[in-house]
A and B are shown apart, each in its own frame.
Chain A
């Protein structure tokens, strides 16, 4: 019998705020899959986009300190948010390559930097550590007939050579995971395009345009819903969907799920444990139609 999996868990700020359902569904899913998840004690913000735009040393130091905290928990570090994942991986990469920056960061956090701990996105844990076969074996309610458009956004696979999650330009990890639990996936053009990210606050017009192209492409490919692994992408696609439909005089009605919500459904978790009621575009009619609720 293989040793049970256990991870340190870094939820990141979004999962304690606007993306509460991502946090909830992650914890519930891991519990159902019997994977240990221990929240890193005293974790704090990774700095996200603002920090590295303003001060590289600050951004690196915030992540390095979090990585140091994570060392205190047994197991690799599990990360749900694509931005946190990107920043933590970037920090590891930069400090490995650049001895000068490493020294500066060590001075700033007043601790030696250790880079041997592995940072893993939830997708890597499901597809790699747990494995697709074992994941498939945990399925109680296959997502048969559900056509999913897997949306990667920018940060999960880019830039080349940093996150090393999957192929930069033609990744398949999301499709592999969701197909393992019985769903169908659609081939579509915009799965790697940018949603506009945090320009949603400063330049909403741009974001509406970009997000519309994504929704349009998913709909045209015949998708019933979209699956994401990033709280910001989720916000733009889900919260702004009604507004976009108004601007472009169209009707998408595409529920936007976190990957943990869909996988959670397949292992038999109910709406309450997956936070489905928190979604702006309600998935209930779709899930009822497909017999999944």
Chain B
């Protein structure tokens, strides 16, 4: 006979406001098999857990039901408490009377009756729970970091410094990401290259970091501790081991007018190129779409001039498989463009700004390249249209951000600060120029941030106008900016020489495709979702995958670096043990009933079903049955629902248990 203990949580007032918890306890206490039932204000608190442990021992409980929040929130907490009281943790179940009951109902009487039924169902289910021994799986102590911007670099260095091997995969020909494009950084105005490039070199020289640039993730298989990742290393057309990085090929390449993406297409590059002089690795890549050799089969100058003979036109894309135990996703961000967007895109673009057709209307990143000492203008602020120095410059914040009608409702977080920085850089470089900023609010929460913003107004003479811009249009060689100053309540018109738009931070293009390969979730904008917004901000809901940087949401550099180090710490926690325990909620095959149809194998999303031969003592094959590898099984139960002979069942969710729950209603 079971001796079940039921603990009803008030969750402060979250549950007790709508559910009469005392009545639930009283009624459940009378159910067959229940030896004890009580209610308590906060079951998850220390006194709550002590109450649970003490009662298990005093009442000699055989099973436990905690009626509280969602098991996603606290199942682990209570199972741990139950285990420390000497009971197998899988004899404890949670009844969700918060998300499934008190939060969604208003009528106290009806909610109370429903809560009693939910708890009653779990009582019937827990009666049939088995003692489950923990499953241990080996951990491969190597990790994969996807994305070689500051987030990926920081995470890779932290993990590698702890002695674990890191595979760093970057889509572009060089690591560095967006931070390498920036000129100076807020709030200290130190040069981005100066603080970034040493880290890039550290990555290249680290004995524990294996770097794959110009590479993409093709396929991810396996599970926490045991992933197999297929990486596509795109053909660089230059052999990385042979190339010395002398750069002769680039000086001789006849194609010199190709817009350089790294310079936001205002600078030009050759067809064989490194994106920027400080690139890591310093190995050029041939842009096959623009190379004369690949277009017409003629030229081949780079190959002729290359001393070591590193240029290889025949090079093919290669697939490499790496085994890793943990994955850090650090794919970063992209910027909103004001261009006309394809039909069906939730992003609308800015027709009122000419859909990006006015040449001297640029985005913030382009301004960074203009201001950068290593940029296409050598750090001089010049207009893309005619190369003249702009004397009146207008910065407009919140382009795309906080504009629901344009498809985005969130704040991009970094633009207020970088626009303040831009006004300063402009003032330092164009002494007789005047900067204007149109803004909705100045959002500067961060150490020394507000002081920085005030400095741009008080010392660097930027004129801040609170209000937005309704239209931009070209008039001669000026851009007329029509906006409003809502502080004074007047309309403003400025004839500007250049306009800089603080465009919204968005996830990288293709973020959704990568997420699907990894099996992680993302929001409607394609930012990756963390497991818990407050308490598990760097973990994905998918075990063994962690997030760093702006792929999870807009972030500045300090925050990105913190998150990257946090993700690295999570990886190290996983790597601190040789084997890890897995939840033993897995499917088991009843071999006697299995007819070997392998319908389960076809539907298994985790590839956990294997074929097992059953032989007699003489070694004669009797039959082939399904076998579920407990290390791989994700515990989803699809096989159970599919099996025509009902020969596979998921522990804790057997047909018998589900029928018992229904009967309890």
B351 proximal to A (CB < 8 A): yes
B449 proximal to A (CB < 8 A): no
B352, A160: Cβ atoms closer than 8 Å: no
B340 contact from A168, A170, A193, Cβ within 8 A:
A170
B480 proximal to A (CB < 8 A): yes
A189 proximal to B (CB < 8 A): yes
- In chain A, positions 55-109 with a C-beta closer than 8 Å to chain B are none
- In chain A, positions 105-136 with a C-beta closer than 8 Å to chain B are none
B276 proximal to A (CB < 8 A): no
Q: Which residue of B lies closest to A160 (CB)?
A: B405
Residues of A within 8 A of B474 (CB): 189
B464 proximal to A (CB < 8 A): no
A169 proximal to B (CB < 8 A): yes
CA separation between A190 and B348, bound complex, in Å?
Answer: 21
A167 proximal to B (CB < 8 A): yes
B355 proximal to A (CB < 8 A): yes
A170, B405: Cβ atoms closer than 8 Å: no
B351, A170: Cβ atoms closer than 8 Å: yes
Interchain pairs with CB closer than 8 A, number: 25
B475, A189: Cβ atoms closer than 8 Å: yes
The number of chain A residues touching the other chain, given as a range, is 10 to 19
Residues of B within 8 A of A161 (CB): 405
CA separation between A110 and B150, bound complex, in Å?
Answer: 66
B473, A189: Cβ atoms closer than 8 Å: yes
The number of chain B residues touching the other chain, given as a range, is 10 to 19
B352, A170: Cβ atoms closer than 8 Å: yes
Q: Which residue of B lies closest to A161 (CB)?
A: B405
Residues of A within 8 A of B480 (CB): 189
B473, A169: Cβ atoms closer than 8 Å: no
Residues of B within 8 A of A170 (CB): 340, 351-352, 354-355
CB distance from B621 to the nearest CB of A (A): 68
B351, A169: Cβ atoms closer than 8 Å: yes
CA separation between A169 and B473, bound complex, in Å?
Answer: 12
Interface membership of chain B positions 470-483, coded 1 if the CB is closer than 8 angstroms to chain A and 0 otherwise: 01011100001000
Interface membership of chain A positions 164-197, coded 1 if the CB is closer than 8 angstroms to chain B and 0 otherwise: 0001111100000000000000000110110000
B522 proximal to A (CB < 8 A): no
Residues of A within 8 A of B354 (CB): 170
Interface membership of chain B positions 340-354, coded 1 if the CB is closer than 8 angstroms to chain A and 0 otherwise: 100000001011101
Q: Which residue of B lies closest to A190 (CB)?
A: B473
Residues of A within 8 A of B340 (CB): 167, 170
- In chain B, positions 426-477 with a C-beta closer than 8 Å to chain A are 471, 473-475
CA separation between A220 and B355, bound complex, in Å?
Answer: 22
CB distance from A218 to the nearest CB of B (A): 13
Q: Which residue of A lies closest to B482 (CB)?
A: A193
CA separation between A245 and B396, bound complex, in Å?
Answer: 35
Known: A160-B405, A189-B480. A168 touches B351 (CB 8 A): yes
Q: Which residue of B lies closest to A159 (CB)?
A: B405
CB distance from A55 to the nearest CB of B (A): 27
B475, A169: Cβ atoms closer than 8 Å: no
CA separation between A161 and B404, bound complex, in Å?
Answer: 12
Residues of B within 8 A of A168 (CB): 351
Question: Residues of B with Cβ closer than 8 Å to A?
Answer: 340, 348, 350-352, 354-355, 405, 471, 473-475, 480
Question: Residues of A with Cβ closer than 8 Å to B?
Answer: 160-161, 167-171, 189-190, 192-193, 220
Given A169-B352, A192-B471, 19 other A-B residues pairs in contact with their CB atoms under 8 A:
A160-B348, A160-B405, A167-B340, A168-B351, A169-B351, A170-B340, A170-B351, A170-B352, A170-B354, A170-B355, A171-B351, A189-B471, A189-B473, A189-B474, A189-B480, A190-B473, A192-B352, A193-B471, A220-B475
A-B CB contact pairs (8 Å), 5 listed: A160-B348, A160-B405, A170-B354, A189-B480, A193-B471
